[in-house]
Chain A
């Protein structure tokens, strides 16, 4: 069972309107690389020029913000769910 990534609306044009896609990787950083392989251009939207996740993008692994885990180095395994969510919401 691969890893499921939920894609936010602003990025769905790059994933042929799919709101969920599958990747295989061992870390969150690897998930982004694998996304880029299948959907070229998506990494530049999620990460800045230095390759860091943009400050207005939140990434969650099974509902937990990866900033409370090991950020890009957070390990992932088959069956995990990763969510990419715009940070500008709520309040």
Chain B
């Protein structure tokens, strides 16, 4: 038994039934899940959550399904790593990595949203699910959809990283590469979704799908001992994750699960695709761009939740950063070498942005900071291959070891 009353337009508050709808037919505003918070407040507690499964479904009272979850039984509840060495490196007192690079089963935060979207797709009676993806979502819909027995149509730009293609095809979905960038793929999928009755997780199922991202924020708050950090640095593509982390924090506050939220949310984007960060830093409207960055999972030039992300950053009194390709590569290596965590390019953007925000004094040296790491470095190896050290090759005998390895070490 769930607590969803229906869908509600974020702009004009018109209400809609629980169906595969995503946009208000009157003002084109975003439809949001409308919960009965009074009823939730009567049942929810730290104890109830803590006695739930070690997955995102421990927050089920705040997720938009009516029956039992049917997908994602092992997803979410990823480690919040206390990053002491990186804290020293960046010059900040208290630093944590929320590490979705190890989210089950496809190693990105998209396993959260897909767990919710496919559970909802089943409730709504879909047998075919689909998505427009920059790669991580393609992996997640393909994998979870295989497990749950859905027919799957996955649409991606034609130039994605090899590992994201292999990590999709292995689950044998229908994979369609589109000659164009992600924004082209997204427009095409919006048109397909308008014509064919499929469950597009990030189009007509988007109100439900996006709620899954709240669990990233819920976990941060719970794992910090039921409080939120002074700062959270979040990468942005469509901006949805940032919006939902903020929503999650505010829901916990409203339900009395945490005290008043004082977290500043900071938006991290890559140079070459920074429409949201630019609008925050320059106090302008969101201007769409043609993406050009190695951070392909963030390469959305026309971000759906751009305005809402900007609003969330502003409500939290946070800021934004933009980092270039070299800083992204450096960010990936910094995190790997300080904390042993190998993140993808999006994570490089986030680490480099955190570094910049600390240097600029936008994050205070005595504050607590969480860096949102959303994906795994094994998927974007191309981006750093040219900037790593080389392996040392030796013969299979002691002499070669001594001559080459020890000699090298003593230099």
* Chain A residues engaging chain B, CB cutoff 8 angstroms: 6, 8-11, 13, 19, 45, 54-58, 60, 63, 65, 67-68, 83, 85-91
Smallest Cβ-Cβ distance to B298: which chain A residue: A91
**Pair A86/B290 contact, Cβ less than 8 Å:** no
Q: Judge whether B195 is part of the interface by a CB distance below 8 angstroms.
A: yes
Determine if B288 and A88 form an interchain contact, defined as CB atoms under 8 angstroms apart.
no
Q: For window 197-223 of chain B, which residues contact chain A by CB distance below 8 Å?
A: 202-203, 206
Interface residues of chain B, those whose CB is within 8 Å of chain A, are 11, 22-31, 132, 180, 182-184, 186-187, 189-191, 193-195, 202-203, 206, 237-240, 285-288, 290, 300, 302-305, 307
Task: Report yes or no: B288 in contact with A65, Cβ–Cβ below 8 A.
Answer: yes
Q: Which residues does chain A contribute within 8 Å of B29, judged by CB atoms?
A: 56, 88
Within the assembled complex, what's the spacing in Å between the Cα atoms of A63 and B183? 10
Q: Are A45 and B22 in contact (CB under 8 A)?
A: no
Which of B28, B206, B285, B288: most chain A CB closer than 10 A? B28
Contact A86 B23 (CB under 8 A): yes
Residue of A8, A13, A57, A87 touching B302 (CB-CB under 8 A): A87
CA distance A89 to B56 in the complex (A): 23
Contact partner, B189, options A57, A67, A90, Cβ 8 Å: A90
Instruction: Give Cα A19–Cα B196 distance, bound, in whole angstroms.
Output: 12
Interface of B is mostly: loop
Given A56-B11, A89-B202: A13 touches B189 (CB 8 Å cut-off): no
Q: Are B239 and A88 in contact (CB under 8 A)?
A: no
Q: How far is the CA of A63 from the CA of B179 in the complex (A)?
A: 12
On whether the beta carbons of B194 and A91 are closer than 8 Å, the reply is no
- B288: which of A11, A67, A85, A91 is its contact (CB, 8 Å)? A67
24 pairs, A vs B, C-beta closer than 8 Å? A10-B25, A10-B26, A19-B194, A45-B26, A45-B28, A55-B285, A55-B286, A56-B11, A58-B302, A60-B187, A86-B22, A87-B304, A88-B23, A88-B206, A88-B305, A89-B23, A89-B132, A89-B189, A89-B203, A90-B190, A90-B202, A90-B300, A91-B304, A91-B305
Is B190's CB under 8 angstroms from A89's CB?
A: yes
| Nearest CB in chain A: distance from B285 CB, A | 8
